[in-house]
């Protein structure tokens, strides 16, 4: 609709530029040239040096024939080269594909082929898997080897070494800024709990906005933030933090391998103020407290994604001087969609209740436009009663362009104009959401929904249980019933039987929620540590059909 405020008031170069996080690097170079941008072991780079290296990287890629819209991949942990790729690859107009270093050669080979990668950077620690993946790919590909004094030498995969690659570039190459803010900036393959990995396409607009949002989420605007790279950059480009940190000229500490000791060392040596991580890292922190540890005067800000840690973990971390906030997101939303925004009123609650409040997924971030918990078909939102379950639906400018070369998956994900997370949650009276389950993992038994998470929580209380997963298996009477796959602690194997486990659950759950079947086995996990429920369900079925517990015509619905 054209109004009088549109006449002779068009967009032009002076008042419109595509949103892109690349601007943040340009500004950091101008505003904080001498501030340290990256520390990696004995090496460090100022923002001017970092920006210069990103620029050289872009120039070298262009010199090697990389065109706009080409895919450039990297297989590396959180090192300077990985941080340089976050800017240097898009500065060549290319699309950055960070590959999960925990994947096997077959998965890496699949990704290299599907993404149409034209050039691959390989950290020498991952030379072997890269070599095997290229064999799987079966086509020649340009490989640049990243060497690092921190890693023992290995036979190079390609014919160019990273520093020589940079050195060969012109000093001031012609950077390719995006022509549109809808241009792709990155490609991130999901870990594939339900089949082949899907390539999530990021856009400059979403990357820019989420980077700004992270400054607010993590309160990154004060003084000089010192950020520790505990979150892998191959997860959602580190939730867009490499871009966000440039916006405030933060100092970044690289970390090739995350451990409790490495984190406490970095805090001691570099006065770390912020980091992001998975909940496992929080356990490291609790297990590895150095004897000389004194909680810092200003708590260290931690954003923790993945499953929410239990209240006891929050309590201990607060004592230790960490301020942890739970965030929730997924690759498809540039990493983070919600945050458990703390409220001043919570301070007045009894401690236990306060801690429970912290474990929720919370509310949408400042740059996330819309979220609802609703029936995914009717799009009718659930009541804010803390018990009605619905699927978490999201929409807005943080959502991906879609899945690369997979229009049917894109359409399915965006059905009805909302992104379907596949996560089931309740909404509390204060509007904060709490995840109860993955929608694929819900068990519908006699018309009642059973949350597999709830049953798993009970199983974890059993002293002999090291790990547990609950899946749906078919049942002639109830439709589906819960089946528990239980991993026993090493010294307990053989001492516990299925009926003991079932009784334990019956004593603590409504009867229909207790598992009908128990299988003792190890738990299949993805490269990122997620339970692969579809695999567990499949092997549980085979097992139960094999021992006659259920009929032979039962199949997976997957």
**Chain residues 406-445 in contact with a copy of itself, contact rule CB under 8 A:** 407, 410, 414, 417-419, 431
Q: Compute the residue count for the chain.
A: 558
Cα dihedral angle (16, 20, 26, 31), rounded to 10 degrees?
80
Q: Enumerate residues 106-165 that contact a copy of itself by CB under 8 A.
A: 116
Nearer Cβ to a copy of itself (191/214) = 214
Site size for a copy of itself (CB under 8 A): 74
**Closer residue to a copy of itself, CB minimum distance, 59 or 206:** 206
Alpha-carbon span 302 to 318, nearest angstrom: 11
Q: Which is nearer to a copy of itself, 27 or 316 (CB)?
A: 27
Using CA atoms in the order 357, 360, 366, 367, what is the torsion angle rounded to 10 degrees? 180
Task: Give the residue with the Cβ less far from a copy of itself, 131 or 401.
Answer: 401
Residue whose tokens read 């405020």 = 5
Which of the ranges 221-229, 316-324, 351-359, 459-467 carries the binding residues for a copy of itself, by CB under 8 A? 221-229
Concatenating the DSSP letter of every residue in 396-451 gives STTS-SEETT-HHHHHHHTGGGSEEEEEEEEE-TTS-EEEEEEGGG-EEETTEEE-
Least distance in Å: CB of 93 to a copy of itself? 9
Binding a copy of itself (rule: CB under 8 A), the pick from 222, 463, 476, 548 is 222
Q: Which of 166, 400, 433, 469 binds a copy of itself (CB under 8 A)?
A: 400
Residue 163 half-sphere exposure, CB side, CA atoms within 13 Å? Answer: 4
> Which of 447, 333, 461, 482 has the alpha carbon at shortest distance from 399?
333
In whole angstroms, how far apart are CA 518 and each of 79, 305, 479, 513? 44, 30, 18, 13
Q: What is the nearest approach in angstroms of a copy of itself to the Cβ of residue 399? A: 4
Judged by beta carbon, residue 116 or residue 521, the one nearer a copy of itself is 116
Helix (H) or strand (E) holding 38: strand 36-40
Provide the pairing of β-strand 95-98 with 184-189: parallel
Indicate whether 221 belongs to the interface with a copy of itself (CB under 8 A): yes
The CB-of-67 to a copy of itself minimum distance in angstroms stands at: 8
Among 363, 435, 470, 481, binds a copy of itself (CB under 8 A): 363
- Outline where DSSP puts E strands in 329-418: 338-339, 363-364, 370-374, 390-395, 402-403
Q: Which stretch binds a copy of itself (CB under 8 A): 15-23, 188-196, 453-461, 521-529?
A: 15-23
- 116 or 538: CB nearest a copy of itself: 116
Tokens for 53?
């290296």
Q: Which of 11, 377, 378, 557 binds a copy of itself (CB under 8 A)?
A: 11
Cβ closer to a copy of itself: 23 or 315? 23
* CB-nearer residue toward a copy of itself: 35 or 530: 35
Tokens 């590895």 -> residue: 288
Question: Contact 519/484 with Cβ under 8 angstroms?
Answer: yes
Q: Which of residues 179-208 bind a copy of itself (CB under 8 A)?
A: 179, 182-184, 187, 201, 206
- Which residue lies nearer to a copy of itself by CB, 51 or 519? 51
Residue 223 within binding range of a copy of itself, rule CB under 8 A: yes
Instruction: Please identify which residue in the block is written with the tokens 């960070």.
Output: 98
| Tokens describing residue 120 | 């691959």
DSSP assigned state of 231:
S
Q: Do residues 469 and 503 lie in contact, with contact meaning Cβ atoms separated by under 8 Å?
A: no
**Taking CB under 8 A as the criterion, which residues in 515-554 touch a copy of itself?**
none
323 is a site residue for a copy of itself (CB under 8 A): no
Q: Is 369 in the site for a copy of itself (CB under 8 A)?
A: yes
Binding track over 24-63 against a copy of itself, x by CB under 8 A? x--x--xxxxxx----------------------------
- Six token digits for residue 309: 């840690």
* Footprint (CB under 8 A) of a copy of itself, residues 79-108: 95
477 binds a copy of itself (CB under 8 A): no
Closest approach of a copy of itself to the CB of residue 317, in Å: 19
**In angstroms, rounded to a whole number, what is the distance separating the alpha carbons of residues 168 and 183?**
28
Q: Which is nearer to a copy of itself, 28 or 157 (CB)?
A: 28
The alpha helices in 152-203, defined as continuous H runs, are 162-167
- 382 belongs to the binding site for a copy of itself (CB under 8 A): no
Check residue 296 for interaction with a copy of itself (CB under 8 A): no
Pattern of binders to a copy of itself over 264-283, x per CB under 8 A? --------------------
* Cβ atoms within 10 Å, residue 426: 21
């Amino acid at each position: 609709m054209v109004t009088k405020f549109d006449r002779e008031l068009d967009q032009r170069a002076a008042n419109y530029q595509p949103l892109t996080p690349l601007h943040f690097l340009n500004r950091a170079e101008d505003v904080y040239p001498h501030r340290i941008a990256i520390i990696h072991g004995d090496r460090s780079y100022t923002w001017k040096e970092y920006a210069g290296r990103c620029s050289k990287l872009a120039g070298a890629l262009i010199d090697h024939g990389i065109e706009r819209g080409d895919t450039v991949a990297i297989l590396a942990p959180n090192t300077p080269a990985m941080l340089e790729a976050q800017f240097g690859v898009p500065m060549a107009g290319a699309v950055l594909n960070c590959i999960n270093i925990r994947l096997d050669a077959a998965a890496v080979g699949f990704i290299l082929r599907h993404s149409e990668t034209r050039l691959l950077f390989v950290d020498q620690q991952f030379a072997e898997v890269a070599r095997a993946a290229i064999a799987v790919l079966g086509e020649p590909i340009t490989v640049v080897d990243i060497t690092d004094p921190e890693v023992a030498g290995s036979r190079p995969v390609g014919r160019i070494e990273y520093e020589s690659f940079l050195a060969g570039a012109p000093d001031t190459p012609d950077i390719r800024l995006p022509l549109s803010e809808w241009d792709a900036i990155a490609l991130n393959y999901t870990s594939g709990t339900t089949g082949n990995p899907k390539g999530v396409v990021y856009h400059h607009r979403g990357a820019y906005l989420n980077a700004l949002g992270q400054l607010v989420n993590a309160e990154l605007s004060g003084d000089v933030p010192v950020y520790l790279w505990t979150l892998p950059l191959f997860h959602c480009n580190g939730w867009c933090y490499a871009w966000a940190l440039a916006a405030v000229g933060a100092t970044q500490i690289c970390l090739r391998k995350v451990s409790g000791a490495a984190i406490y060392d970095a805090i001691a040596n570099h006065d770390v103020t912020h980091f992001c991580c998975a909940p496992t890292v929080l356990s490291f922190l609790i297990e590895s407290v150095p004897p000389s540890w004194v909680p810092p005067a200003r708590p260290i800000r931690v954003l923790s994604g993945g499953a929410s840690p239990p209240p006891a973990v929050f309590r201990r971390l607060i004592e230790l001087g960490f301020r942890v906030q739970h965030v929730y997101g997924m690759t498809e939303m540039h990493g983070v969609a919600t945050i458990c925004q703390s409220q001043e009123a919570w301070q007045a609650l009894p401690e236990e209740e306060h801690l429970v409040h912290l474990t929720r997924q919370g509310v949408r971030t400042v740059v996330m436009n819309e979220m609802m918990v609703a029936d995914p078909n009717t799009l009718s939102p659930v009541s804010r009663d803390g018990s009605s379950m619905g699927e978490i639906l999201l929409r807005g400018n943080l959502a991906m362009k879609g899945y690369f070369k997979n229009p049917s998956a894109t359409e399915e994900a965006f059905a009805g104009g909302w992104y379907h997370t596949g996560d089931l949650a309740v909404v509390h009276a204060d509007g904060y959401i709490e995840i109860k389950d993955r929608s694929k993992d819900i068990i519908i038994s006699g018309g009642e929904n059973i949350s597999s998470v709830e049953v798993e929580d009970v199983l974890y209380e059993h002293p002999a249980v090291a790990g547990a997963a609950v899946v749906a298996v078919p049942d002639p009477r109830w439709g589906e019933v819960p089946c528990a796959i239980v991993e026993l602690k090493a010294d307990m194997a053989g001492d516990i039987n299925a009926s003991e486990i079932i009784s334990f659950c019956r004593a603590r759950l409504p009867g229909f929620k207790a598992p009908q079947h128990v299988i003792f086995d190890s738990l299949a996990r993805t490269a990122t540590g997620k339970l692969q429920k579809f695999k567990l369900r499949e092997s549980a079925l085979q097992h139960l059909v094999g021992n006659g517990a259920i009929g032979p015509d039962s199949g997976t619905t997957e």
